[in-house]
Every structure is written in C-alpha cells, then in structure tokens.
Chain A
Amino acid sequence: MYSLSGRTAIAGIGATEFSKESGRSELQLAAEAVFAAVDDAGLSPAEVDGLVTFTQDANQEIAVAREVGIGDLTFFSRVEYGGGAACGTVLHAAMAVATGAASTVVCYRAFNERSGRRFGQPDPRLGGQPSSQGVEMSWHVPYGLMTPAGWVAMFARRYMHAFGATSEDFGRVAVAMRRHAATNPAAWFHGRPITLEEHQRSRWIVEPLHLLDCCQESDGAVALVVTSADRARHLRRSPAVVTAAAQGAGRGQMMMTSFYRDDMSGLPEMGVVASALWSMSGLSPKDIQTAILYDHFTPFVLSQLEELGFCGRGEAKDFVADGGIEIDGRLPVNPHGGQLGEAYIHGMNGITEAVRQIRGTAVNQVAGVRNVLVTAGTGVPTSGLVLSRE
C-alpha cells in the first residue's frame, strides 16, 4: 500500500514574537510568519504553490498570497476543529506534495487571540445558531457551560474519580511547562517558573481547574514550509521528515463536549490518531525522545500520555511524578514550555519546536533526538505528527 511516511519534510519554520497585544492586523502577522518560514527554508515566496490553514483562521489563503507575493496557487485547504487542526495542516500539505498537487506548501496560523476575540471568554452566540454545532452547543450553553475551561473541567473531574488523580497531578504538568518556559527567551513566561504550591494557591477558574491549569492567551503567528523530502535535502536546513501524520475523530465525537460516549476518562480521538501514527511510522513510544503534547489545559496532557501509549490507562499521574515529563525526565514534554509557558498559537508553535529539536537547535535541546511526536488540540477532533531526523 502507498504510504505517506518519509515522502515529505518540514523545510522551514517561522514565527512572529508572541505577545498579549501584537498591535498589528492578523493578516500582517500571517505575512510576517510566512516570510520568516520561507526565508528559513532558503526559498522565495514565488516558489510557494500551496497554502493550508485552520478553518478558524481569519486570513484567507489568497489574502496571504497577495501580501507575501505568492503567485499561482495550485492547492489550498482548511482544516476544521479549532486547535485540533494544527498537525492536520501538515498532513494536508504533505498529501498535496506527495500526490503532486503542489510542490511547496506553507501551513500558517495567525491571530490576535489575546487582544482580539478571546476563546476563554463566554460567548452567548455559541448556542445561538441552529447549525449542527449550534444545536450541539445548545445542550450546554443554557446552563452556563460555555468556556473551554468548563468543558475540560467536566472531563478532568471524571478522570480524577476514575483513577484517583488529584489537582496536584495536574499541577505537576504546569510546573514542568513553566520550568521549560523559564529558560526559553521566546516564551511569555520566560524567567517565571512556578511551584506546585503556587499552582495550588492560584484561583479557581472552573473547579477542578485552577488558573494555572489553563494556558495563557496570546497574539502571534506561526508558519511552516512543507515540501518533498528529496527537495528538502537540498535546501539550507536539515529536513524534519514527516514520518507519520494523521487526523482523528472518535465515535460519538463532539466539539469539547463528548460527555455522552461510553467513557469520559480518555480521549478516544487521540487514540485514533495514535494508532495511525504508530502504524504509519512503524515506531512505538520507546522510539520517541521528546513529545510535544497539546497543553491548553493540564488534565488532557495526562490523558494524552495514556492514549499515545507512553503509559497505561490511569498511570499518567505516576508518569508525571518526580519530574517525569521535565527536560531531564523519562520523556521530556514540550521543552519550549508548551502553550502553558511559551504561547498559545493553537498548537502551531509546538510544531516549530519539534522541528528545532530535530535540527538540534532548540534552546532546551534534548540529547540524541531522532523522532519527535507532536499532537494537536484535545477534546476536539484532532491530529498528530511524528517528525524524524535523517
């Protein structure tokens, strides 16, 4: 059977600074990130013939193309489901390159998520439209269950009940991310580590989630250049080969509110992604030196460790104990500090970190990196990648 594995690579990465108020339009942010990624690859924008972004992105592909001087586009697509789209953009780009639909595809995500529309704020319009999603939200919004923290908290409580996990177990994830961010100058929380006590003392957002269980909100943009692995070998950066890429949705899936499925203590959609990644790559968890796990809220980092097979069901609390996911732990997770520590760019900044780890140029470099696993938004239909060094 034809496999996508090894056919394409990420050849360039770019980003703006990460801030709370960019002071510029989202389109300008997108353009700046695309320029940075194309420059990093040693290409010119005129060589780009494909663009992929998130359905939620406010910058149309053609608008970005006009700004940066991309000419003819032979491929453009959008990936749905909020932050679940992140690794999916690379999957779409890789499929386009592997099938010849395009030769050089840029994936981008740009927003003023802190200074513009904030995802963490309740929006009564969520349940206002009789679209399938509006009707789905209408089983929750009327009861005030309408923020991402609220939806995740509902799973977190059940997870605690099922496996005896505690708020401190969630806190260990936040402490690890902030430790990593403290030594990453690009991180918003650079130089600001936290202790478990500070996590426990931070105010409630939605019980059982404290403020420090929730990732920050950020302005910024990230872009990635995907091209064939053969071509990438002749460009200026060593390629981050796409060894596996997958999307996943589970049975009975909803957007953040899959409360009605058999089990609320896992993330079945991440299980779908995991089995696709392992089967496409031929690898297993022991082949991964560092993982970039989507961390908008701490509890789902634990569930992901389980769904991806790094530990058994309900064992993630032991896995994260004693610095298990810290830079010097058994599996360093998000050495850049993740979205809790670096910035919330809808998972795309995590992919750039994975590429830096493959290249050996990360600020918090993990030794001997050969394969990095990356995941996208949790609680929603999601996606994942395995990137490898040649």
Chain B
Amino acid sequence: MTTTAESGVHQRLADLAERQIAAGEVRGAPAADPVNLPMIRHWAAAMGDANPVYTDEEFAAGSAHGAIVAPPAMIQVWTMAGLDGGDTVGPVAVMLAALDESGFTGVVATNCEQTYHRYLRLGERPVAATRMSGLSGPKTTALGVGYFVTWVVTWYSDDEPVAEMMFRVLKFRPVERNPEPAKHDPYPLAPAVNRDTAFFWEGARQGELRIQKCGDCGEPRHPPGPVCPTCRSLNRTYTLAAGVGEVYSYVVHHNPPVPGREIPFVVAVIALPEGVRIVGNIVECAAEKVGIGMPVRVVYREMDDELILPMWIPRES
C-alpha cells in the first residue's frame, strides 16, 4: 500500500537519483599501490589460480603477454579503499546513504558485468571513475521492498580506459525474520483450522493421532470433512490410530528453500492400517534410506507454543 509519506520518500529518492546521474563520472584517487607481484601472488594463491602468466616471469615472457600481467578480475582490487574505509562523497555513495536513511538498510548485489580492454602490467597505477546510471523501484522482492541502484566504473591507466564494470545492488527494507526460529517464534507454516478439523490438531497437541470416523456407518476418513460421503451422516466421531504405518510415496525437497524448514527434508504419504492415508515428514532418517513400503511410527514435534505436528520415524517391522 502506498501512503502519502511513502510517495514523498519515493519522490525525494527519485530527485536525488536524477541529480547523482546528472553529476556524471567522478574520478577517485589513483590505486594506493601500483600493480605488483606480491598482491597478485596472494590473490592467485587465495583463489587457487595456478595460471603462470600471473606469477612466473619466465613463462610470462614467452607468452602472448611478453611479461607478467595481473588477473583481469583483480581490476577492482587495485582501487579498493582497504581498511581506511570507503568513498562517502561520490555520487553512488550519496545515493546509498540516502537509501539507508529512508530505511532501505539491507543491501545485496544482483549483477556484476566487467569488460577488460587489456591486461594490466606491473607498475601501472589505475584510477577508478564512477558514475551512477540508474535507480529503479520501489519493487517488492523476496527480501523486502527495495530499490535497484546501478552504476558504472571505468578504470583508467594514465588516460587510457583499461576496464569497465556495471554493478547493480538491491537496497531493501529488511523484513523482520529469524533464519533459525527461536523456540517461541510462531511457526510460519501453521495450518488453517476450522470446526471440521480442530479435533485432529487438538489430538496432536495431546499426542494422539485422531482419524475421523462416521458415527453411523463407521467409515474412516482422512482428511476429514463435515459430511460422511458414504451415508450422509453428520454424526462425526474419531478413532485413535495405532500410530504406525507404511510409506506409500515420498519426496525429498531440495529447492527452493521453504520458510521454517531446513533443506533437504522428506515428506511422505503414509498408509495407515486404519484404512486411510496421511501426509507427514519422515525425520531421524537419512533421505536415501527412505523407501516405499518402509514401516514407520508416529512421533510428535513441537513447532511453536501452539502447534504440534505428527511426524514419522523408521520402525522395525
């Protein structure tokens, strides 16, 4: 929902973006250190990059480069601010700070495109020049509502452009959530419960697996409903299931992540000897051990202060 205050914020951000884009390209200071072998060597070692043109003088001399060159993907490394902290006055820095102040404090990079015109040699001292190129939003994303900010960096050696980068980040207003829900946080996947199904969930809270049974014809039914499809009776009762069953089918969920669950997890259709099937998780069992026909028995898991879910563990047959 867009309120007046929200659209005021949007207008301010859009106006600022326009000014920052109009400011054009702003050059930073030259690289603190010239392109040098020790930093290349550390980088190559950390990345596990064994390419000899970066570190082996003799090999490099005989290569197309004729001498040692820096890995192209290191281009940004040369002009990083290091421990001294970063730029606070450039057009992008001002835009990001304004987004922070408006509550869009989260940041996640979404795109990075680098183009290398040539490889850098030892002794060169690149300069990074930054221009902001776009602001789009607000957009609703999985992380929260946010703005995409795009900028372009060009690296110059003397006045020759040697590399470019387009970079895009999402600045978002974080949604309140805990990745590992504490014991008392509400479980995000709570069931909807109504008059027809409350008895089942109440049973789970008491450690009972209640299966609906028609009070007249005795037909068992799961999932339950208000009317017996066999005899039209509204006289509902339930039976307590023995709490054992067999896997009728199952899946192993890997993707995408599911709120409140750790992946991978197993979900199965369990056939009960009472004559119905029920869906539940199989726990305390490696996914690759699960199979159709596997005997299981029910356990009860506390999901939050309110909800207890019946789940299933392997059973000796």
Contact = CB atoms under 8 A, between A and B. Distances in A.
Asked if A and B form a direct contact in the complex, defined as CB atoms under 8 angstroms apart, the reply is yes
A155 B251 CA distance: 9
A129 B311 CA distance: 23
A205 interface: yes
Interface string A135-154: 11111111111110010011
Contacts of B250: 154, 157
A214 to B, nearest CB: 10
B194 A130 contact: yes
A207 B268 CA distance: 12
A266 interface: no
Contacts of A153: 251
Contacts of B178: none
Interface in B113-146: 142
B251 A208 contact: yes
A161 interface: yes
A206 B189 contact: no
B254 A204 contact: yes
Contacts of A135: 191-194, 196-197, 223
B279 interface: yes
Interface residues of A, number: 41
Given A122-B259, A136-B223, A154 B249 contact: yes
Contact of B256 (A122, A137, A145, A158): A122
Given A127-B191, A260-B223, A144 B267 contact: yes
Contacts of A140: 267, 279
Contacts of A259: 248-249, 269, 277, 279
A150 B189 contact: no
B249 A157 contact: yes
A386 to B, nearest CB: 33
B292 A158 contact: yes
Contacts of B311: 143
B189 A142 contact: yes
B4 interface: no
A147 B258 CA distance: 9
A182 B287 CA distance: 36
B197 A207 contact: no
A124 B259 contact: yes
B279 A143 contact: yes
Given A130-B194, A147-B258, A264-B249, 12 more contacts: A121-B256, A124-B188, A139-B223, A143-B279, A144-B253, A150-B253, A158-B249, A161-B249, A206-B253, A207-B254, A208-B251, A259-B269
20 contacts: A131-B192, A138-B191, A142-B190, A143-B309, A144-B253, A147-B256, A150-B267, A155-B249, A158-B249, A161-B249, A161-B292, A203-B255, A204-B255, A206-B252, A207-B252, A207-B264, A259-B277, A260-B222, A264-B248, A264-B269
Interface of A: 120-122, 124, 127-131, 134-147, 150, 153-155, 157-158, 161, 203-208, 211, 257, 259-260, 264
Q: Which 10 A-B pairs have the closest CB atoms?
A: A138-B191, A207-B252, A158-B249, A153-B251, A130-B194, A134-B192, A204-B254, A145-B267, A144-B261, A130-B192
